[in-house]
Structure 1
């Protein structure tokens, strides 16, 4: 790869990563969430029986203390509740409440708006090419750093 192309690719990926994070943070702030909280809450709503903190952390590819801190920050919203795990006093199941479920359409709308705004008027064929290239790059990077670095978003 030509050195100028290497620089251009690195600048574009770094810039996109930073801009995406800021844009996502702004969209989520409008509904009272921070990045990461959206994925955690959305995931909880997909599990009718809830999850333990350990299960939630594993699904998000984060450490249990990180999941615990994120839950603590979300606690004031009333978007989930904790229930004891029968037979294990040390464990609790985290379940999305009606308020948590009610927030999902706003989360999904924020995600959809961000995707639309990021790709703009790009045609379907070019979107498919862009997604294929990004997914292949993610797969190659995942092989280098491992599966546990980033949660699926």
Structure 2
């Protein structure tokens, strides 16, 4: 890759990341959520019995203290409850409340709206190519940082 092409790729990725985060933050603010909380809620919704903070942090690709900080805001809103882990009473599981479950369709609608705003006007084959290129780039970067799971933001 020549220098000009490399600079164009780097500028496009940097701008895209910043703009995507900004637009996503606005959409989530309308739900009184911060970026990342949507992903935590969605992951917790997949596990009916909940997850420990360590399990949740591993799924997101962050350290447990980072997940704990995000969960602290969510706990104030009553979006989850803590339940003892039957096999180890020293640990607790994070389990979604009904209030949090009611937010899930709005979160998914925000994600659909955001994806549509970003690539929805492209023909289906071009959308597929964009997603494939981004997934390929993510795989290559994940290999560089040694991450086993994709980090969610």
* Paired position in structure 1 for 2:66: 66
The whole-number CA distance in structure 2 between the counterparts of 1:96 and 1:79 is 6
Instruction: Out of 37-46 and 141-150, give the one that drifted further.
Output: 141-150
Once the two structures are overlaid, the 10-residue window that deviates more, 139-148 or 49-58, is 139-148
Contact 1:60 1:151 in 2 (8 A): yes
For 2:148 and 2:60, locate their aligned partners in 1 and report how far apart those are by CA, in whole Å: 8
> Could you tell me which residue of structure 1 aligns to residue 126 of structure 2?
126
Q: Deviations over 1:46-86 (max 9, x none)?
A: 11111111111111111111111111011122111101123
Match in the other structure for 1:105: 105
Give the 3-state SS of the residue equivalent to 2:144 in structure 1.
helix
In 1, the alpha carbon distance for the partners of 2:47 and 2:147 equals 22
Is 1:39–2:42 an aligned residue pair? no
Q: How many positions carry a matched residue from both structures?
A: 153
Shift in Å, 1:120: 3.6
Match of 2:2 in 1: 2
SS at the partner of 1:51? coil
Q: What runs of 5+ residues in structure 2 fail to find an aligned partner?
A: none
Structure 1 segment 23-34 matched on structure 2, within 5 A: 23-34=23-34
Q: What whole-Å deviation, never above 9, does each CA across 1:110-137 have from its counterpart, x for those lacking one?
A: 1111000011410001011111111111
CA distance in 2, matches of 1:137, 1:61: 17
**How far 1:2 moved relative to its partner?**
1.9
| Structure 1 pair 93–85 and aligned structure 2 pair: CA distance change class (3 A) | same
Residue 141 of structure 2 corresponds to residue 146 of structure 1: no
Q: TM-score, normalised by structure 2?
A: 0.94
Q: Distance in 1 between matches of 2:103 and 2:124?
A: 29
With structure 1 as the length reference, what TM-score do the two structures score?
A: 0.94
Which sections of structure 1, spanning at least 5 residues, go unmatched? Answer: none
